[in-house]
Amino acid sequence: MTQTAPRTLRIGELAELTGTTPRTIRFYEEIGVLPAAEDREPGKRRLYSEADVERLREVVRLRDLLGLSLEEVRELAEAESARAHIRREFQETDDPEERHRLLEAALPYIERQLELVRGRIGELQKLEEELVARRKRVRTRLREQ
């Protein structure tokens, strides 16, 4: 019943789809930002799924948009990883109470990211207001010649 997504992408393709490089992907795996590609004998190739594309895209956004360090990304990614794990368990259990508990556990990780994003948006809006005010002062003086 547990259907796994098809792992058909190779590292170069994943890199292309996410705007990264193979080296970056291996490095992220090495430091735990990305999980090791599953069921892989050493020396063999890494294979990825669509879900891995989404995941890496999210890492990149946390890195670039929020400026998180890879260490900080890793902490959040562990949460992501926990969510993935939760989802997997979720599809293997039929106990309704268990399902409820698992879903509830998934929420805080999303909330945390929302907090970070909204906090940053707020700071940027404050900066925006200041810039607009500055521009207005200059324009006013321009109209007054």
Q: How far is the CB of 37 from DNA (least distance, A)?
A: 7
43 touches DNA by CB under 7 A: yes
Total number of residues that touch a second copy (CB under 8 A)? 33
43 touches a second copy by CB under 8 A: no
Binding partner of 23, given DNA, a second copy, none, CB within 5-8 angstroms per partner class: DNA
The interface with DNA within residues 44-63 (CB under 7 A) comprises: 44-46, 63
Query: What is the DSSP annotation of the chain?
Result: --PPPP--EEHHHHHHHHT--HHHHHHHHHTTSSPPPSS--TTSPPEE-HHHHHHHHHHHHHHHHS---HHHHHHHHHHHHHHHHHHHHHHH---HHHHHHHHHHHHHHHHHHHHHHHHHHHHHHHHHHHHHHHHHHHHHHHHT-
Positions in the binding site for a second copy (CB under 8 A):
61, 64-65, 67, 96, 99-100, 103-104, 106-107, 110-111, 113-114, 117-118, 120-121, 123-125, 127-128, 131-132, 134-135, 138-139, 141-142, 145
